[in-house]
Amino acid sequence: MKIKKIMVVGAGIMGSGIAQVCIEAGFDTLLVDMSDEIAKNGKEKITHFLSRKVEKGKLTQIQVDEMLLKLSVSGKYEDGKDSDLVIEAVAENIELKKSIFKSLDEVCKPETILATNTSTISITLIAAATKRPDKVIGMHFFVPAPTMKLIEVIPGLLTNDEVKKIAWDISIALGKTPAMAQDTSAFIVNRLLVPMWNEAMFLVMEGTEPKDVWNGKAF
């Protein structure tokens, strides 16, 4: 299956950043949120950050104009029913995500892959809200999405091998460095990061000055 059109759900900092990554990589992209107005605000964020790249000489205005032609916005999932890949990037609320995935499952074509940008919630649990758990996968981008290279690819218990490969390959096509993670608590990066934060707090509790902990790069 070839990915041609991507729908990003959620036009906040994370979602608009992911949509920017998609159009910079040359994919037709639909940015969706609860209303047209919110989605348009997401597009404005993208336009602003791309303009900054022009100012810094990283892109030309012609390149930016071509990228923005690949971006459309909407307040309705139905407008992305022909998408090949959906990337959900809303708040870390399990009930909200399950509701969104249930709706996407009903709207999107049967072969569409449904991905979530969650950093903490079980992919298998989210997939259970759909009738296609074999086509649900985690694609965890990091903030800010346009500049951070790492992406965690997290299969659920029922995610099939083809979807794993497509998610891995599309991550590379988006200019990212993928790491395959297990569907376990906090995946890879946050599982390593949280204990480090805890140790930093313990050091301060035991008398180390916060500025010294920071200078030592403990957090």
Tell me which of 9-18, 108-117, 153-162, 183-192 is least confident. 183-192
| 194 vs 25: which has the higher pLDDT | 25
Q: Does residue 117 carry a catalytic annotation?
A: no
Q: Does residue 99 carry a catalytic annotation?
A: no
Residue with tokens 């965690």: 152
219 pLDDT more than 80: no
Among 152, 160, 199, 209, the active-site one is: 152
Assess contact for 17 and 146: CB atoms under 8 A. yes
Sign of the CA dihedral running 122, 128, 134, 140: negative
What pLDDT sits at residue 214? 78
User: What tens digit of pLDDT does each residue of 118-177 get?
Assistant: 999 999 999 999 999 999 999 999 999 999 999 999 999 999 999 999 999 999 999 999
Among 16, 72, 74, 140, the active-site one is: 140
> CB burial class (10 A; 0-12, 13-18, 19+) of residue 184?
exposed
Sign of the CA dihedral running 159, 161, 163, 164: positive
Instruction: State the Cα–Cα distance between residues 199 and 141, nearest whole angstrom.
Output: 25
Q: Give the pLDDT band of residue 196 (cuts 50, 70, 90).
A: confident
Pairing state of beta strands 136-141 and 150-155?
Answer: antiparallel
Pairing state of beta strands 136-141 and 85-88?
Answer: unpaired
- The topology under which CATH files domain 5-187 is Rossmann fold (3.40.50)
What are the C-alpha distances in Å from 142 to residues 45, 130, 147?
17, 25, 9
| 214 vs 13: which has the higher pLDDT | 13
> Where are the chain's structural domains?
5-187, 189-219
What is the mean predicted confidence (pLDDT) over 67-90? 98
What pLDDT sits at residue 174? 98
Sign of the CA dihedral running 69, 70, 71, 73: positive
CB within 8 Å of 63: residues ≥ 6 apart: none
Q: Does residue 190 carry a catalytic annotation?
A: yes
Q: Report residue 147 as tokens.
A: 């500049």
200 pLDDT more than 90: no
User: What tens digit of pLDDT does each residue of 81-131 get?
Assistant: 999 999 999 999 999 999 999 999 999 999 999 999 999 999 999 999 999
Instruction: State the Cα–Cα distance between residues 43 and 181, nearest whole angstrom.
Output: 31
Name the 3-class secondary structure at 66.
helix
Among 190, 198, 199, 209, the active-site one is: 190
Among 95, 119, 171, 185, the active-site one is: 119
What pLDDT sits at residue 217? 59
